[in-house]
Amino acid sequence: MNIYVLIKRTFDTEEKIVVSGGKIQEDGAEFIINPYDEYAIEEAIQVRDAHGGEVTVLTMGGEDAEKQLRTALAMGADKAVLINIEDDLDELDQFTAAQLLADYLKDKNPDLILAGNVAIDGGSGQVGPRVADLLEINYVTTITKLEINGSQVNIVRDVEGDSEMIETSLPLLVTAQQGLNEPRYPSLPGIMKAKKKPLEEVELDDLDIDEDDVVAKTETLEIYLPPKKEAGRVLQGDLSNQVQELVQLLRTEAKVI
């Protein structure tokens, strides 16, 4: 089976966000594979181990994203591809990202593509379904279980907490939801092996796409931090008085009840 995983390099979830000059400060921040994409990688490896084939991890970004690709190789992916846009594009959005990823994939005949359901930084959840639509293949988002028999696929999809049992077929793109699996940590031998696995770098010129087709449709004007919350009021005194005071405050001061 020919399996592709779309992965994104993101800020570590514990990282504090610093904004200066309307932009996110990246200096010194820790970066990780988007947590949902880790589920996607793990699932891809399990599908390959059960059905044979090859897992290729694909990312669009700058040179720095090689580190996350190597981590995915160390987990057990076979090959990695970086679409390096660093020198070519200075404005991009989800439209652009999907155009580039789909253009790379269009002649690769993937049977199965896995992505995360959402990137924890950009947070739009658009890239997976957009790529599927551009490739004219079916997609199922927020999956928590995947079973493949031949070209038939059974899926459990999480829908705001309810579970849908879905039947569909390959070729297919799925996006991973928490609960799909427990992603493995790269093992030491895995890390050693990853150093020798192929990591291909592709630039815009290598793709069969016009610059006009990747011009962003939206523009970020400004990034800012939410207003800092003042330290809240911890109520004092006898517990029953505190409870009465709280109800009063919610009614008269906060006006939410």
Partner 1 sequence: MTKKVIVLGEVREGALRNVSFEAIGAAKKISVGGEIVAVLLGESIQSLGAEMIHYGADRVVTVEHPHLKSYTSDGFSQAFMAVVESEKPDAVVFGHTALGKDLSPKVASKLKSGLVSDVTGIEGEGDGAVFIRPIFSGKAFEKVKVKDGIVFVTVRPNNIEPLAHDASRSGDVSSISVDITNLRTIIKEVVRKSSEGVDLSEAKVVIAGGRGVKSEEGFEPLKELAKVLNGAVGASRGACDADYCDYSLQIGQTGKVVTPDLYIAAGISGAIQHLAGMSNSKIIVAINKDPEANIFKVADYGIVGDLFEVIPMLTEEFKKLKAN
Residues 71-130 that bind ligand FAD (CB under 6 A): 90-94, 97, 101, 115-116, 118-119, 121-128
Range 139-155 burial, b when 16+ CB lie within 10 A, else e = bbbbbbbbebeeeebeb
Distance CA 213, CA 146 (A): 34
The interface partner of residue 138, options being partner 1, ligand FAD, none and the CB cut-off 5 to 8 Å by kind, is partner 1
Contact call for residues 7 and 15 (beta carbons, < 8 A):
no
Distance CA 168, CA 145 (A): 13
The interface partner of residue 116, options being ligand FAD, partner 1, none and the CB cut-off 5 to 8 Å by kind, is ligand FAD
**Which is nearer to partner 1, 187 or 218 (by Cβ)?**
218
The interface partner of residue 254, options being ligand FAD, partner 1, none and the CB cut-off 5 to 8 Å by kind, is partner 1
Total interface residues for partner 1 by CB under 8 A: 76
Total interface residues for ligand FAD by CB under 6 A: 33
Which residue stretches of 85-204 are H helix? 94-105, 127-135, 188-194
Residue type, 122: G
Three-class secondary structure of residue 61 per DSSP = strand
Does residue 183 bind ligand FAD (CB under 6 A)?
no
Q: Which of residues 93-132 bind partner 1 (CB under 8 A)?
A: 93-95, 98, 120-130, 132
**Which is nearer to ligand FAD, 201 or 251 (by Cβ)?**
201
Q: Which of residues 14-53 bind ligand FAD (CB under 6 A)?
A: 34-37
